[in-house]
Structure 1
């Protein structure tokens, strides 16, 4: 049950929730891809920029505010993930509705909490 996850809004700063999420996903043996504004890496995971063509993404977890998500609407839908998680601060009703119209499950939740209670 590998829930290959794409973290959008990835950061190399250890204080950022996206950084912590990447570490926790790795600890749970979940394959992680990361997308950010600045290239870099979190442990063994390179942070990609732009809109790379990833295969077999199960989950996209968002660490961007609603205003910064608009450029990614079509991109995320094109990846055809099973679900998209809107972390606290990333809530976006417009994007949520677009995802659901494309049969992609969208949920407002916290990736870190889900991982800590084995609800991921």
Structure 2
């Protein structure tokens, strides 16, 4: 099943997990949109450097440390994703409470592991 995924904190650096995740998501036939601090393209996916109102996002996979997430809480909630994945290093109990209050599921796990084990 195709799950439109927003890679939030996407990087142009090929050694970053967010960069690798874009390719793996595409390889598993998921539609991918991406937001990062530098505009560019990874595996044919444009990385937006300004916040957009992406439609029909199933999953947001976070690659942004907790101290930088605060500025994006409202925007991410406004997208009404079905779930947000907190990849290693992004764990944020404060944000979990906000998501729970807005009936948005979250998982503290690794997107790459979920994909490799067919649990995405």
Partner of 2:24: 24
Give unpaired runs (5+ residues) of structure 2: none
Find the counterpart in structure 1 of residue 103 from structure 2. 103
Q: Distance in 2 between matches of 1:17 and 1:100?
A: 26
Q: TM-score when scaled to structure 1?
A: 0.98
Unaligned runs of 5+ in 1: none
1:53 positional shift: 1.1
Report the TM-score when normalising by structure 2: 0.98
Using the TM superposition, give the Cα deviation of residue 77 of structure 1 relative to its aligned residue in structure 2, in angstroms.
0.3
Which aligned pairs between 1:1-120 and structure 2 lie closer than 5 A?
Answer: 1-120=1-120
Q: Secondary structure at the match of 1:72?
A: helix
CA RMSD, Structure 1 to Structure 2 (Å): 0.5
The structural deviation recorded for 1:50 is 1.8
How far did 1:115 drift? 0.2
Deviation at 1:69, TM superposition (A): 0.4
Cα distance in 1, alignment partners of residues 109 and 43 from structure 2: 25
Figure out how many residues of one structure are paired with residues of the other and give that number: 120
CA drift of 1:32 comes to 0.2
Moved over 6 A (4+): none
